[in-house]
A and B are shown apart, each in its own frame.
Chain A
Amino acid sequence: MALTYDDIDKIARLARLKHTPEEKRKLLSDLNKILEYMEIIDEIDIEGIDEMSHITHQQTPFRDDVVKTGLSQKDALSNAPKTQDGLFVVPKIIENQDSTE
């Protein structure tokens, strides 16, 4: 199942990325090569094997509810291209809301 330019556009939109036609051509060819490689996995016989999300059978380890000191505000912001009054600054977001869903 090969990808089309529509797929590239959709993925790019979800990732909030813009590409030149030249970049798109290269991406399409690269991604299709990766998918072809993945398709080899389809050849494995998985008859009788249950669907699984992780290959280990371990359970996720727990952490006790203990507060630890993290980064200072200065360190936390030190990689950001733009900051103001202790806040990260980004280009204005259109939707006037938080994203949590």
Chain B
Amino acid sequence: MLSEYEAVIGLEVHIQLKTDSKIFCGCSTAFGGEPNIRVCPVCLGMPGVLPKINKRAVEFTIKMVLATAGTVHQESIFARKNYFYPDLPKGYQISQYEFPIATGGAVIIKNKDGEQKRIRLSRIHLEEEAGKLFHDTDDRCSYIDLNRCGIPLVEIVTEPDLRSSEEAYLFLSKIKQIAEYLDICTGNMEEGAIRCDINISVKSKGDKNYGTRREIKNMNSLKFIKRAIDYERDSQIQIIKSGGNISQETMLWDEKVGVTKLMRTKEESEDYRYFPEPDLMRLEITPEWIERVRKTLPELPDEKYRRFIRQYGIPAYDVGVLTSSRNLADYFEVVALVSKQPKLASNWVMVELMREIKETDISRIKVRPENLGTLITMIAMGKISSRSAKDVFAEMVRTGRNAEEIVKAEGLKQISDKAKIEKVVKLVLDNNRVSVRKYLRGKEGLFGFFFGQVMRETNGRAEPGLVNKILMDELNKRRGQ
């Protein structure tokens, strides 16, 4: 069936850089608000203006290249990509063509079985973002907001190394993760901060030649990217199986219907007439600059993953989750180091904390990681029970107060005082003489009942191990009576 065929996929990923100002002018890159308030003669494409490149945009691009093991070229050239579209006021986009900032490099993806695959990159270049278009369904106009126009974009182009929607998903997640670690992109896909074009063809498995590819343009949701690839793969297989030919076409994903639709044929395809941008001279990136940037690189996801496994001895699955975002990984490390209980720290971060951050952002959570570390220390030292610890944590989430303070105020400290527990045990046994007799005559299942009673009397605060031992001793004492 479908399994005789496989998809061959290459991606062009666009990442909006998180610079303060645009790539060629001083306008702000902020998101939202009124339309056309962050514009100037340069990004509006007025005649006679000159672009001047934002140094930080170049630096962010170098970071991405170094993080993906590509080669930064000492010299690169900006080029004009000419096409007419109302979201592009100049009539061309300043991009790079024959001489991009970088070529080569690779990203390692890992599937859920832990198998690794190396996805080669063909190039990374820098270009400018276009404006935003709005369409009304009922009237004959389109509307343009140029606030976005001129935000720096890094474009990452892969070799056709991906074979499934799952691999494409893993690749994009990895790029997003790396960009987030590097702190060069907000990573906010809903705001379009990461988008991609998908080149996809199908071929018989084992066939060395690739089929003719189609391109799906402008996807900005990981979920839809998966769906669009699966739909397009199946539809290409159907065409081939029914004796048809795929022609080189550009498609659009229609989310409402769940299909890819023809946007333009090869004959209608644009001729961009690239030529060197005369307003910008060659971009020089010296080896010294590259080395300076290299020194600022943070620990990257793969490195952090290996170190966590080595240093904390926690399961690979946990490490995968904990290092999925840099903020989460940093949070975990503080908890683990303060508590000196990596496994317990990992459980608490992955279960209790993750439940809380599902609804908010980790940076907005009120529980400081060192406070969670203290809470875990208290559990490990037997100062409070795990059950009370959950109540304390809920209080920490609500108020941001520290664990010790809450435990003191709420009287949640675990009871480890032998005399105190003995007193409660005796009271429970005295109040249940009939059950005690039954127990002593062999109904041993009643032990759990006594245990539960003691825990209830102490509001769950008695140290379970101690209760167990004292209860056993007390029952044995009553055997002779």
Contact = CB atoms under 8 A, between A and B. Distances in A.
Interface stretch (B1-9, B136-144, B236-244): B136-144
A46 interface: no
Given A61-B52, A65-B21, A91-B141, A70 B284 contact: no
A37 to B, nearest CB: 19
Nearest to B98: A53
A3 interface: no
Contacts of A96: 135, 252
Contacts, number: 170
A101 to B, nearest CB: 7
Interface in A27-45: none
B276 A53 contact: yes
B35 A86 contact: yes
A56 interface: yes
A2 interface: no
Interface in B147-163: 153
A68 B84 contact: no
Interface of A: 10, 14-16, 53-54, 56, 58-73, 76-77, 82, 84-93, 95-101
B53 A63 contact: yes
Interface in B20-38: 20-21, 25-28, 34-38
B54 interface: yes
Given A73-B36, A100-B130, A54 B282 contact: yes
B83 A60 contact: no
Question: Which of the four size classes fits the interface of chain B?
Answer: 35 or more
Interface of B: 12, 14, 19-21, 25-28, 34-41, 43-44, 52-58, 77-78, 81-88, 93, 129-136, 139-146, 153, 195, 197, 217-218, 252, 263-264, 270-271, 273, 276, 278, 280-284
Contacts of B54: 62-65
B36 A86 contact: yes
Contacts of A86: 34-37, 145
Given A60-B53, A76-B39, A68 B140 contact: no
A58 B134 CA distance: 41
Contact of B82 (A14, A62, A68, A97): A14
Contacts of A90: 86, 141-144
A67 B52 CA distance: 13
Residue among A58, A91, A98 with most chain B CB within 10 A: A98
Nearest to B84: A16
A98 B20 CA distance: 23
14 contacts: A59-B281, A62-B54, A63-B52, A65-B19, A70-B26, A70-B43, A82-B141, A86-B37, A87-B35, A89-B142, A93-B142, A96-B135, A97-B217, A101-B217
Given A71-B39, A92-B142, 14 more contacts: A14-B82, A14-B270, A60-B282, A63-B52, A67-B28, A73-B36, A76-B39, A86-B145, A87-B143, A88-B36, A89-B141, A92-B135, A99-B83, A101-B81
A42 B57 CA distance: 39
Which 6 A-B pairs give the minimum distances between C-beta atoms?
Answer: A68-B26, A70-B40, A53-B276, A59-B284, A65-B56, A99-B85
A70 to B, nearest CB: 3
Contacts of A89: 141-144
B263 A95 contact: yes
A92 B217 CA distance: 20
Residue among B44, B57, B136 with most chain A CB within 10 A: B44
